[in-house]
Amino acid sequence: MKPITIKDIRLHTVSLPYVEPLRTSFGVEANKSAILVELETSNGIIGWGEGATEIRPSYGYETIATGLHIYNEFLIPNLIGQTIEKATNVPALIRSVRGNNFSKAGIEAAIWDALAKNNDLRLADYFASLLPEGHESENKATVGVSIGIQPTVDATIAIIRKRLDQGYGRIKLKIKRNWDVELARGVRSVFPDISLMLDANSDYSLADAEQLTQLDEFNLLMIEQPLGYYDIYEHGQLQKLLQTRICLDESVKSSNDLLLALQVDATRILNLKPGRVGGFSESLKIYTICVEHNLPLWIGGMLETGVGRAANIAFASLPGVSLPSDISASDRYFDPDITEPAFILGLESTLAVPDGYGIGVEVQQDRLQEATARWTENYPYQKTSD
Ligand code: OSB
Ligand code: MG
């Protein structure tokens, strides 16, 4: 690999209106906010990464404001002027910064993109080059769609129907306490056979185990992160009582967390969000653990802009990603997205990996300007309902 030398790193905080907001157990935002990282190398290559931090510390503890602080004060000063030959060397360069995984991942992603471009490689092929033979990119990712909490069961059914008509082959519904069994029963009475899963975003505690066992009758593909943010042990306790497989999301923040979760049978499937674990270097470690343990794996989403989504699609195209990922077509999120070309849902609920080098999509300067202006207008906090 031809190395890159980092000349400059520029941050763009953006705000993009969602086509359809996603209500979770912790609320809803009308706009997508993200920090886009633009990295320039000494030979003029531009790499892009997305730090998928949100406005509020709800899904994780990082926010846009803490992200800007960590980038500007710590990560960027550590990296400017560095020569990097392999993106997997990056975590060692920023290990003095504790935690803040989404921010680290945003900057690491820009380095992955720049290194891939500098070596005329698609990001998907760069990932595959670091894995054993037989792990080449399949050039497409199999995907599903995540549907937020709706006011009624009928409204949920209407959206599921729309998504099935669009070609999505796996449906995920957000649930919360008191919005679970009745929802699943109503949906299953209309769609007895669809591939269906539920995501609780940490809303329950072990005391709710009996309620959760009532979901066993609905033939769910999995239940995602029912219990608390840190509660790996408790998920293991819950799994003893449930037939439905538990899939951890929030609680697995590193490869070490995954090994612990496997030890206590807390996760029978894994939702890997590359940002949550600090980036693609750690994600490759986790990928390898999943392959070794025959653990079904899929890539989660944070409603990313095209910058983050393109990189996640590249990762999700690896063959060890064995279940549909939470990465939908561009039109499910934004009109228009910040990058071109748009991701369009293909046959059998797939998204194609673009042909271009690196992430394979281009940031549109006019849309970037508009999105940064929208952020500035609304800063520090956008209006939120709830
Ligand atoms: O828990 O998977 C989640 C979005 C924001 C925060 C948390 C989650 C989600 C999603 C979105 O489910 C999936 C997507 O990006 O399409
Ligand atoms: Mg989740």
Kindly state the tokens that stand for 98.
């504790």
Cβ(28) – ligand 1 distance below 6 Å: no
Distance 302 CA to ligand 2 centre (A): 9
Whether the link from the prior residue into 336 is cis, omega within 30° of 0, is yes
Task: Report the nearest atom of ligand 1 relative to the CA of 271.
Answer: 2
Residue with tokens 């509660």: 231
Q: What is the pLDDT of residues 332-369, one digit of tens each?
A: 999 999 999 999 999 999 999 999 999 999 999 999 99
Cβ(249) – ligand 1 distance below 6 Å: yes
Q: What is the pLDDT of residues 278-305, one digit of tens each?
A: 999 999 999 999 999 999 999 999 999 9
Question: Could you tell me which residues come within 8 angstroms of residue 101 by beta carbon, excluding any fewer than 6 positions away?
Answer: 60, 62, 253, 275, 276, 277, 278, 279
- Give the pairing of strands 297-299 and 350-352: unpaired
Distance 200 CA to ligand 2 centre (A): 7
Residue 65 near residue 380, CB atoms below 8 Å: yes
Q: What is residue 381's predicted lDDT score, i.e. its pLDDT?
A: 53
pLDDT at 386 over 90: no
Task: Compute the distance between CA of residue 65 and CA of residue 55 in angstroms, rounded to an integer.
Answer: 8
Distance 272 CA to ligand 2 centre (A): 10
Pick the closest to residue 54 from 69, 87, 32 (CA basis).
32
Distance 247 CA to ligand 2 centre (A): 9
Distance 303 CA to ligand 1 centre (A): 6
Q: Which of 143, 145, 302, 327 to mutate to test the pocket of ligand 1 (most atoms within 8 A of CB)?
A: 302
pLDDT-derived band of residue 382, with 50, 70 and 90 as boundaries? Answer: very low
Distance between terminal CA atoms of the chain?
A: 49
Cβ(350) – ligand 1 distance below 6 Å: no
Total-model pTM? 0.97
Is 285 designated active site?
Answer: no
Specify the length of the chain in residues: 386
The HSE-up count of residue 247 (CA atoms within 13 Å, CB side) is 26
Residue with tokens 């979760």: 261
Kindly state the tokens that stand for 82.
């560095």
Cβ(301) – ligand 1 distance below 6 Å: yes
The HSE-up count of residue 211 (CA atoms within 13 Å, CB side) is 17
How far apart, in Å, are the Cα atoms of 9 and each of 89, 143, 373? 18, 32, 20
Is 273 designated active site?
Answer: yes
Write down the catalytic residue from 104, 172, 174, 176.
Answer: 174
Q: What is the pLDDT of residues 248-286, one digit of tens each?
A: 999 999 999 999 999 999 999 999 999 999 999 999 999
pLDDT-derived band of residue 75, with 50, 70 and 90 as boundaries? Answer: very high
Residue 339 near residue 159, CB atoms below 8 Å: no
Question: Could you tell me which residues come within 8 angstroms of residue 151 by beta carbon, excluding any fewer than 6 positions away?
Answer: none
Residue nearest to ligand 1 atom 13, measured at CA? 301
Kindly state the tokens that stand for 348.
């059998």
- Is residue 309 exposed (0-12), middle (13-18) or buried (19+ Cβ within 10 Å)? buried
Distance 198 CA to ligand 2 centre (A): 9
Q: Which ligand is nearest to the CA of 247?
A: 2
Task: Compute the distance between CA of residue 28 and CA of residue 175 in angstroms, rounded to an integer.
Answer: 13
Q: What is the pLDDT of residues 82-132, one digit of tens each?
A: 999 999 999 999 999 999 999 999 999 999 999 999 999 999 999 999 999
Cβ(305) – ligand 1 distance below 6 Å: no
Q: Which of 19, 20, 24 to mutate to test the pocket of ligand 1 (most atoms within 8 A of CB)?
A: 24
Kindly state the tokens that stand for 49.
């990464």
**Residue 181 host element (H or E):** helix 181-190
Residue nearest to ligand 1 atom 9, measured at CA? 302
Q: Which of 19, 149, 326, 331 to mutate to test the pocket of ligand 1 (most atoms within 8 A of CB)?
A: 326
Task: Report the nearest atom of ligand 1 relative to the CA of 303.
Answer: 15
